[in-house]
Amino acid sequence: MGQPAQSVALLLMEHLRAPFEGPVLSYGKQAMNVGFDGTLKMFASLGIAPHPDGLADPPPPDEYIDFARLFRLLGLGALQTLDVSAYEGAEIIADLNLPVPAELMTRFGLIVDGGTMEHVFDTRQGMKNTADMLRPGGRAVHLSPMNNYVNHGFAQLSPALYHDYYVENGFDDVRGIVIVQPRAEILSTDWNFVEYDHAAMGGENAIFCSAETQLAVYFSARKTAASTSGHIPRRPGGDRAPGYQFVISHGPTPVIQQIAEREAGTASVREVVHAGFGSGREHAEFP
């Protein structure tokens, strides 16, 4: 699997907002369509000092790197990966449709789902496994398709799935971002980012997108000592936020509210991506 620069920028900004802690688990081996030199420029744009561990034995400046290198640069040590098969060399072989082994419980400080949950047929068990493998204080981060991604996986996942599950199970710092992407030239065109306000946007059929637009969702949540994993949220029919309905289109002008406001004095996602790529349009699509 491969992560575009925009996803990397979101992760770096999340780390700057509330520093990640290890050990780190990634669902699947995650490459990045960002070179080593471009990644260091993204770090610099946010004022993040790369950890010496990640600078050791550097690859060629333009060579794409992966999550293992990214999290070493953040000083989080060796990354572990979980996959359903050993095909890509994952350290942990497990099927998220089934309960994970007991030795994985409360083991990780960060779990990054860079596009796996939509491929898990039993989403309920996949979410429970994620919560169970986090230690108290640990965080889950999800990047998932939301709309106009038919048959990408088994499901297109609504922000309410993540919001309601984590709130129901007593997680805190629950926050989401709607990622607004163009269907054409998706990796070489700027994206828009909209803060997910559940009170306004969490109602039934509250969010639509235009035909030329794809939507994805970024969600993060932190486990507390009192958090559970087995509580099931319920959304009865007609659970609508009256008066709020959004049609989101990709374009150069942000729709609703772009995450361009600076968090803790940082750059915007777009500025971080451009720091790594110059104009942001030179890189080829990731295979």
Rounded Cα–Cα distance for residues 44 and 13 (Å): 12
> Which is more confidently placed, 253 or 69?
69
Burial class (CB in 10 A: 0-12, 13-18, 19+), 28: buried
Could you write out the three-class secondary structure of 45-58? HHCCCCCHHHHCCC
Helix (H, G, I), strand (E, B) or coil at 153: coil
The pLDDT assigned to 256 comes to 44
pLDDT tens digit sequence for 111-121: 999 988 987 99
pLDDT tens digit sequence for 191-231: 888 888 888 888 777 787 778 888 888 999 999 999 999 99
Asked if residue 150 has pLDDT above 70, the reply is no
Query: In angstroms, what CA-CA distances link 92 with 71, 73, 280?
Result: 18, 22, 35
List all residues 6 or more positions away from 177 whose beta carbon is below 8 Å from its beta carbon. Answer: 10, 193, 194, 195, 196, 217, 218, 219, 259
Helix (H, G, I), strand (E, B) or coil at 168: helix
Burial class (CB in 10 A: 0-12, 13-18, 19+), 89: exposed
Q: What percent of the chain has pLDDT over 90?
A: 54
Q: What's the predicted TM-score (pTM) here?
A: 0.87
**Do 108 and 23 touch, CB atoms closer than 8 A?**
yes
Tokens of 38: 């471009």
How many other C-beta atoms can be found within 10 angstroms of the C-beta atom of residue 114? 22
List all residues 6 or more positions away from 42 whose beta carbon is below 8 Å from its beta carbon. Answer: 5, 8, 9, 12, 34, 272, 273, 275, 276
The pLDDT assigned to 284 comes to 33
Nearest to 24 by CA among 98, 75, 60: 75
What's the alpha-carbon Rg for the chain, to the nearest Å? 18
Tokens of 149: 């991604």
Q: For the ranges 163-167, 250-254, 256-260, which has the lowest average pLDDT?
A: 256-260
- pLDDT (mean) for 5-11: 90
Helix axes 36-46, 5-17, angle to 10 degrees: 40
Asked if residue 41 has pLDDT above 70, the reply is yes
CA 12-15-19 angle, to 5 degrees, is 155
Quick one: residue 184, left, alpha or beta (phi over 0 = left, psi -120 to 50 = alpha)? beta
Residue in the structure block whose two tokens are 């007991």: 102
Identity of the amino acid at 160: A
At residue 82, what are phi and psi to the nearest 5 degrees? -120, 135
Rounded Cα–Cα distance for residues 257 and 181 (Å): 15
Confidence band (pLDDT; 50, 70, 90) for 30?
very high
The pLDDT assigned to 153 comes to 66
- pLDDT (mean) for 46-65: 93
Q: Which superfamily is assigned to 2-277 in CATH?
A: Vaccinia Virus protein VP39 (3.40.50.150)
